[in-house]
Structure 1
C-alpha cells in the first residue's frame, strides 16, 4: 500500500487503530486513497436527526468526500449538533417538519440538480426508498433497485461484495439479473475489470427442489448469451465452494470463480442479511452499504455502523458519482 493520504490519516485518527485482522489490508483506506484529490460531491442527507447520522455526514465532509445538504427539522438538527459537540459551520440546511417531508425534499434536491448523492439519515429505510421509487417524483431508472454490502473481511484476500441483503426480499430471476448488473457496474467502477460473481445456493447442483439453483443456472446462461455483461458468473455454488477453492476441488467443481469471487449473489434477503451479519459479528468484518439502480447512488448507514464503515459507504458513492460525471462528459463531447 502507498503512503497514507491526509484523508486516510484522518480516518485512522477518528476511527482508532484498525482491528488486528485489518492490519496491512485496510480495504476502506484504499477506497479513500482513490478519492484523494477528487472534488467533494453535493449530497442530500435525509433527516440527520441523531448523533450517528449527523456525525457521519459531517465526518465525510471533513474528509473532503461530500458537501452535505442537511434536510430535516432545522431546530432539531442544530440541537443534536449542540448536544454532541458537532460543528455545523456553514453547512446548508433545508428545513422540513418531519421525516416524511425530509425524504421528499431530499429526493427533490437530487431531481433538481442540487445534489448528486442521497444519504439516509435517522429515518427508516422504507420511508426513504418509498420516495425514491415514487412514479412521478422519484429517482427510478429502468433498473431494479438493489443493495450491496461492500465488506472488509479480515480473513479474505480482497473486498467482498454481497447482494442483495436489504432491499429485495424474494427476488425473481429478472430481479436477480438486475441485482447482478448493479453489483457488476459498481465493482467495475472500483477498478475490477472482470469481476467474478458466485451465485449462492445451498448446493452446487441444479435441482427443481431448490429454486435458487435453477435461477443460478439461468443467470449463468444469460451471461453467456450477453444478457449480463462485464463479469464471470458461476453457480449454483454453496458458500464453502464459492469461498474456498480447496472445498470446490474436493467436490470436483472446476470453476474460475471458486475461491476468488468478488461478488456473492445471494438467493434472497434473509440469506444475504444473515451472511453479512455473521461475517460482521463472528469474523470481525466491516460492511459499507449502498443502494444502486436509482438515478444516483444512495448511501445507507446504520446507527450500529463504525466510522470506517460509514466513511467507506461515502467513498464508494463518491467514486460512482465521479464515474457518472466522466461518462456524461464523454457523451457530451
Structure 2
C-alpha cells in the first residue's frame, strides 16, 4: 500500500544549517528483530535478558540506536538517493525498551560535490543526549520523487499464552492419570515431562516391554510409576476406564494408540464414562497473530454433528474456555457466509445456536452466527460487511460445521501459521487428554494442564487462572 510522496534535497539545494528529525519509541519487537538480523544474542539486549541494572527492561544495542540516524538521512534529509561514506558515534547513555527518542540530523558543511557533513544526535524525549556523531554523506545530484511504501508485515510470536495455564495448573494437586500406550518417544516423553512438572501422576497402561524400551531410548527412569502390562489396545482402554470408575484415575491420556478403542470404552453404556452431555474435542491454540487463546471445536469426535449435538459442543467449548480464565467467552459459529441461507444447513444451525444462547439454553458465553472466518476474527472485515455484534471480529471460541473443517482449520494454523496447539475431550465424567501421535512433549504438557484446569473449574465453578483480557480492554 502506498502513502504520500517523498521528495529529496539535492546537493545543490542543500543548505548548511538545514535539519530534519523523526521520533521513535524503542520496543521489545525492535530488540527481537535486531537480534534476528544482526545475530547479536547478547542477553542484556533481549527482553528475556538478565541485567540487574535494567529494572526489567533490556538495554537496546547501541548500533540499533545508531541505525535510526540512517532513517532520517535516507528518508528526510538529504532523502532518497543519499549514500553513506562514513559515520562516527559517541554513545553517551543507554536506551531501554519504552524510551521515546528524537533522532535529528543537521547539515554542518558542504564539501566537494556531492559530499556533505551532518551532525547527528539522538535524544530522549526530555532532551537528554543519548548519541552524537558525524555523518559523511554523498547527497543526491538529481531530484527524486518517490512514494512512501509501507513495509510488509512481520509477525513475531511475542505472546506466551500457554505459560500462565501451566503455571496455574502446577498450583493444583497432581492429577492421577491413566496413560494409554506410552510406548514411543513422544507419548512417554510428554507423560514424563507432565509428571516432572507436577501436573499428573501417571499410571502407564500398555505393552510393558515396549514401554520399557521407550524409556531406555529416552534415558528416563519409569520405575517410580505404576505400570499395568496389557498388550491389547481394547483391553488397555477398558482398564483405563475401570481405573476411573474405581476412583484411582481422574483423567485419561491417549498415547501411542488409536482413538477408536479408547473412545469405544469411554462410550460404553454399561461401565463407560457417559454423562448427559455428548463428548466433543477442542483444540486450544496459541496463534502468533492473536493476543488471546483460540479454541476450535469439534475437531476429532463428532463427524457431522446435528443441531442437538452442536448445542453440547458449544457448551463444552464455553466451559473449557471459562476453565482457562475467559470469564464470558465470545463464541463464533462458523459457516461459509455470514447470512442465513436455507441452502447451507450450517447457517441455519448457527442462527439457532445464537438464539438458544440468548434464551439461556446455552449458558456462560456470548454466541453469534453464522459468521464467516474473516468476520469472526477480524474487526475490519466485520465492519466492512456491516455486521454489528459482540462476537464478530473478536471470537475466542470457534464452532466449526463439521469435523473435517475443524481439523483442517486447526492443523493449518499449526503447520502453516506456526500456532502451538493442545487438545482436550470434555463431556465424559473425566477429561480425556487427546493429542495426535505426532504431537510433541510440549503439546502433551499443555493438554495435561487443560485437564487440570477443567477439573478444578468443574468442581469449584471458578477458574484457577486469570488470563489478560486484551480484546475487551481494547474496547
TM-score by length of 2: 0.63
Does 1:47 find its partner at 2:181? yes
Matched with 2:213 is 79
Shift of 1:83: 2.4
The 5-angstrom pairing of residues 1-333 of structure 1 reads 21-23=156-158, 25-326=159-460
| TM-fit CA distance, 1:322 | 2.4
Aligned counterparts of 1:283 and 1:33: Cα–Cα separation in 2 = 25
Contact kept in structure 2, 1:165 and 1:270, CA below 8 Å: yes
Determine if contact 1:21/1:284 at 8 Å carries over to the other structure: no
CA contact (8 A) 1:117 1:321 kept: no
User: How many Å separate the matches in 2 of 1:184 and 1:69?
Assistant: 30
Q: Which moved more, 1:97-106 or 1:144-153?
A: 97-106
Question: 1 CA distance for matches of 2:216 and 2:233?
Answer: 20
What is the DSSP-based 3-state SS (H/G/I as helix, E as strand, rest coil) of the residue aligned with 2:416? helix
C-alpha distance in structure 2 between counterparts of 1:92 and 1:315, whole Å: 21
Give SS of 1:161's match: strand
- 1:209-257 CA-partner distances (Å, limit 9, x unpaired): 1000000000011111111011101100000000001001001111111
1:140-165 deviation digits (Å, cap 9, x = unpaired): 10101100000000001100000001
Contact 1:41 1:321 in 2 (8 A): no
**Aligned 8 A contact 1:53 1:301 in 2:** no
How far is 1:199 from its partner?
A: 0.3
SS in 2 for 1:208: coil
For CA contacts below 8 A with separation 6 or more, give which structure has more relative contact order: 1
Q: How many angstroms does 1:132 deviate by?
A: 0.5
Q: Deviations over 1:4-42 (max 9, x none)?
A: 9xxxxxxxxxxxxxxx8433x111111112123221110
- Looking at structure 1, the residues matched to 418 and 212 of structure 2 have their Cα atoms a distance apart, in angstroms, of 35
| Alpha-carbon separation, structure 1, partners of 2:300 and 2:421 | 12
Alpha-carbon deviation of 1:275?
Answer: 0.5
* CA distance in structure 2 between the aligned counterparts of 1:110 and 1:207, rounded to whole angstroms: 45
Deviations 1:168-224 (A, max 9, x none): 010000000000001111111112121100000000000111000000000011111
The root-mean-square deviation of aligned C-alpha atoms, in Å, is: 1.7
Deviations 1:54-99 (A, max 9, x none): 1111110000000000111222211221122122131011121221
SS in 1 for 2:454: helix
Do the aligned residues in 1 keep the contact of 2:187 with 2:441 (CA within 8 Å)?
Answer: no
Deviation at 1:306, TM superposition (A): 2.8
Q: 1:326 and 1:230, CA in 2 relative to 1: closer, same or farther beyond 3 A?
A: closer
Higher strand share: 2
| Alignment partners' CA distance in 1, 2:172 and 2:456 | 8
CA contact (8 A) 1:107 1:139 kept: yes
1:233 aligned counterpart, secondary structure: strand
Extract unaligned runs of 5+ from structure 1.
Answer: 5-19, 328-333
Which runs of 4 or more aligned residues in structure 1 lie more than 6 Å from their structure 2 counterparts after TM superposition? none
Aligned length: 310
User: Which SS does the other structure have where 1:119 is aligned?
Assistant: strand
Cα distance in 2 between the residues matched to 1:180 and 1:264? 9
Structure 2, unpaired ranges of 5+ = 1-47, 49-154, 462-475
